[in-house]
Structure 1
Amino acid sequence: MCSHGGGRSSLFPSSIQQEKMPDRSVWVLALALVLALPCVGQQYREEAERIMTTTPVIDGHNDLPWQLLKRFNNQLRVPAANLTLLNDTHTNIPKLRRGHVGGQFWSVYVPCETQNRDAVKRTLEQIDVVQRMCDLYPETFECVTDSAGIQNAFQSGKVASLMGVEGGHSIDSSLGVLRTFYRLGVRYMTLTHSCNTPWADNWLVDTEEEKPVHHGLSAFGKTVVEEMNRLGMIVDLAHVSVDTMKVVLNISKAPIIFSHSSAYALCAHRRNVPDDVLQLVASTGSLVMVNFYNDYVTCKNTATLADVANHMDYVKKVAGAQSVGFGGDYDGVTRLPTGLEDVSTYPALVAELLARNWTEQEVKLALAENLLRVFSKVEEVKGTLQGTPAHETPIAFEELDGTCRTSYGYSSGSGTARLLPAALALPLALALRLSLLS
């Protein structure tokens, strides 16, 4: 017996509307088509399962590590934290299997309130919990750090587990911390969360809640992007302002991702991507991994699976099939569309895309191949920059906030005077020399 899997109006031949037929013939054909709908829907679902068996989904953003911190203080061995049995989260091991999840960027998120306080420490703890997930469930998770590792995990039937830092506040404006996170396995960083950093503007500056500070990136912010290119770390533009999006897309040597954002034209929320930025996404070979959060899908409390498919259709129309991906935001949001309640539901969304005449190749691009292409290109750019030394110039001390901060390295021999910004040091030195000569 077939079950209905979300067949579209495209299942009905246009000839019904266009050709004149006897009333009886119209009704007989319409009835036959309605009776066939369940089997057609099941056909799309079976096709989705078949495709995902060889090309599983790589999702751009999942906040399960944050749930593990909030619920269990990152104690993975307590019985309630068992990832096979955990049921009150969007994500557990059985759900990942049913959803054909083959790759996941786990968010090592810490809130904006940690900025200028303990953000680095808290982020390190979240990196640690992802690594321990891989250690504790080696039959399910394989921690990987490159595109080849993702494909190897596919072959072994494991979930390729990668890490993304969600918010530049996590590096505390330190290039050394950025490099250390990379060495620990972090492979993307979202430049801001819902707060500005001392070097980048977040999406709230495009609303009435905040005012722009940097109009995109400061000079140090541009250095952060350059260093990410040099390291081979993907730049993520979810959560940033439109000016920040445009600056980065114009200066980055490698393609970027939006790890969990949707289309602004369909839902005018500032977390989403406007059309002119989608065009830059297309021209730079970048990627928008569509978010499932109701508020970013319909700008309402409610949404459906079809509404998410609308966003994927739209990104495909404006930026091309090579620019679409999946960025569910599971376990980081409170409201999800009907039909996409947890990570087991990806095949239903794929079936919907097939019903909308997406080709098998287009579906494979969105599932995994687009992300793999972007990641491979980021690695290629890293290769071209191998002879480039690490950026060493620190952010100016005056640009940092917070009282719980020492100034070692910024001080003169007396331990009190701070180093002058580089732009002022040379002119003042010349002026001093001229005064000595006069």
Structure 2
Amino acid sequence: MHLGVFVRLCGLSWVMTCVAARMLPNDTHITRALQLMSQTPLIDGHNDLPWQLRKLFNNQLNKVDLHTLNSTHTNIPKIKEGKLAAQFWSAYVPCNSQHKDAVRQTLEQIDVIHRMCQKYPETFMFASSSHDILEAFHQNKTASLIGVEGGHSLDSSLGTLRTMYHLGVRYLTLTHSCNTPWADNWRVDTDLEPSQHNGLSPFGKQLIREMNRLGMLIDLAHTPVAVMNQVLEMSQAPVIFSHSSAYGVCPHKRNVPDDILRKVRDKGGIVMVNFYNDYVTDSPSANIFNVADHFDHIKNVAGANIIGFGGDYDGVENVPEGLEDVSKYPDLVALLLKRGWSDEEVKSALGENLLRVFRAVEQTRDNLKGTDPDDVPIPDDQVKNSCRTSFS
């Protein structure tokens, strides 16, 4: 055969192989995905439906029906179709509330999550422990947990942290997209915002220790690499990234570098893959295959035991083709199976990894049961502003 023809044929074969690799899974993969999802709860680390309820309805749940709401990525029919067994709902308020009314607004978001569970008890079961997640799964309900997204929601108060824990909050994302008086946020790694603390301040380290004592999951999404390293070094419990993807696939500073992935593995933590197009491809467009690439990369770098799902639905504008809303989770699970993931690896990513991390955090809490709460406040000069009253 002429060399040029041979090369062209080989090239065509390579292209056809690549195209085949990008084809959607078949019915066999979908059937297997649904079977695995019936055995192991799909736990998602981050959904901003509560923020949509504030934006669209000012948290007036009487004005919305989650059975028929169609302007969001999330509603009850989509949850059922997507086999979403457990969800960390985000109690998020914007950074512009910092030093003003962030605590009040966050409490209102916590309240709306509780009321959502009370209004739809046939669908949602409020959960605050690893045991609760499994109990909801056995009752065929969606376990509903709370994560506070952004340390500015605390107003630099350990008392507020403890109060939110008592209200059912089970993770705190240390920063959002602004520095707090005790921690830098991810934007300092882009030079868009200067570092104030070289990671965590001394009070920030107090807060990490208090979260360990309480049994609250430490969420490193939205943090810079310096904070990631400091927390991974000092935390007694594993950590989570509730909605972050792989920097090795998409070099966006909200994503997790390979060396951190390996440290998360060594710490026994979890990275829950984000579906936001900007973090998937660093562009306005992305597809389900691009998201699967992040799952594959994390597995190849640090193993399937650190992977989870962190869709970020209703918190972002652009989501990938093929993952348009929460009903599409089975398609992604099926794609992982098509790519050669074993049943055990898929079940780990679905929920076993998060349950393991949650249990380890609860065990750390139990081990620290005799430790007194930290009541040393942040120094006044670090939080002094016109909206804050000081009694010291």
Gaps of 5+ in 2: 1-8
Q: Which residue number corresponds to residue 331 of structure 1?
A: 314
Report which structure shows greater RCO (CA 8 Å, sep ≥6). Answer: 2
Deviations 1:205-247 (A, max 9, x none): 0012111111110000000000000000000000011100000
Cα offset, 1:54, TM superposition? 1.9
Hey, what's the Cα distance between the residues in 2 that align with 1:394 and 1:301?
43
In 2, are the aligned partners of 1:134 and 1:141 still within 8 Å (CA)? yes
Q: Which residue of 2 aligns with 1:355?
A: 338
Q: Map residues 417-436 of structure 1 onto 2, 5 A cutoff.
A: none
SS in 1 for 2:381: helix
Looking at structure 1, the residues matched to 257 and 198 of structure 2 have their Cα atoms a distance apart, in angstroms, of: 17
Alignment of 1:103-182 (within 5 A): 103-182=86-165
Find the partner of 1:184 among 156, 167, 170.
167
- The residue aligned with 1:18 is none
Counterpart residue identity of residue 280, structure 2: V
For 1:430, the equivalent position in structure 2 comes to none
* Equivalent residue in structure 2 for 1:341, among 324, 332, 357: 324
Report the AA paired with residue 102 of structure 2.
Answer: A
Residue 401 of structure 1 and its aligned partner are, at CA, apart by 4.5
Alignment of 1:386 with 2:369, yes or no, is yes
Shift of 1:41: 1.0
Which stretch of structure 1 is more off in the superposition, 53-62 or 335-344? 53-62
Offset at residue 364 of structure 1 (A): 0.5
Give the aligned CA root-mean-square deviation in angstroms.
1.5
- Percent identity for Structure 1 against Structure 2: 59
Unpaired stretches in structure 1, ≥5 consecutive residues: 1-22, 411-438
Q: Across the two proteins, how many residue pairs are aligned to each other?
A: 375
Residue number among 94, 102, 106 corresponding to 2:77 in the alignment? 94
Aligned equivalents of 1:376 and 1:124: distance in 2? 26
Asked if 2 retains the 8 angstrom alpha-carbon contact of 1:48 and 1:347, the reply is: yes
After superposition, what is the alpha-carbon deviation per residue over 1:250-276, rounded to whole angstroms, capped at 9, x for unaligned? 000000000000001111110000111
Residue in structure 2 matched with residue 70 of structure 1 by the alignment: 55
SS in 1 for 2:165: helix
Map of 1:288 onto structure 2: 271
Using the alignment, how far apart are the partners of 2:301 and 2:153 within structure 1?
Answer: 33
Deviates more, 1:66-75 or 1:51-60: 51-60
Q: Which deviates more, 48-57 or 94-103?
A: 48-57
What amino acid maps onto 2:294 in structure 1? Answer: H
Residues 116, 401 of structure 1: 8 Å contact kept: no
Contact 2:41 2:134 in 1 (8 A): no
1:155 maps to a residue whose letter is H
Superposed counterparts of 1:230-245, under 5 Å: 230-245=213-228
Structure 1 residues 322-368: Cα deviation after superposition (integer angstroms, max 9, x where no partner): 00000000000000000000000000000000001100110000000
User: Is 1:266–2:249 an aligned residue pair?
Assistant: yes
SS in 2 for 1:77: helix
Preserved CA contact (<8 Å) 2:200 2:227? yes
The superposition leaves residues 165-194 of structure 1 with CA deviations (integer Å, 9 ceiling, x where unpaired) of 000000000000000000000000000000
Q: In structure 2, how many angstroms separate the alpha carbons of the residues matched to 1:322 and 1:66? A: 31
For the 8 Å contact 1:168–1:197, the answer to whether it is kept is yes
TM-score by length of 1: 0.84
Q: Distance in 2 between matches of 1:291 and 1:349?
A: 13
- 2:190 paired residue number: 207
Equivalence for 1:58 = 43
- Residue 41 in structure 1 maps to residue 26 in structure 2: yes
User: Residue 4 of structure 2 corresponds to which residue in structure 1?
Assistant: none
Larger CA Rg, structure 1 vs 2: 1
Letter in 1 for 2:40: T
Aligned residue type for 2:56: R
Residue 176 of structure 2 corresponds to which residue in structure 1? 193
Aligned pairs for 1:243-262 within 5 A: 243-262=226-245
Query: Residue 220 in 1 paired to residue 232 in 2?
Result: no
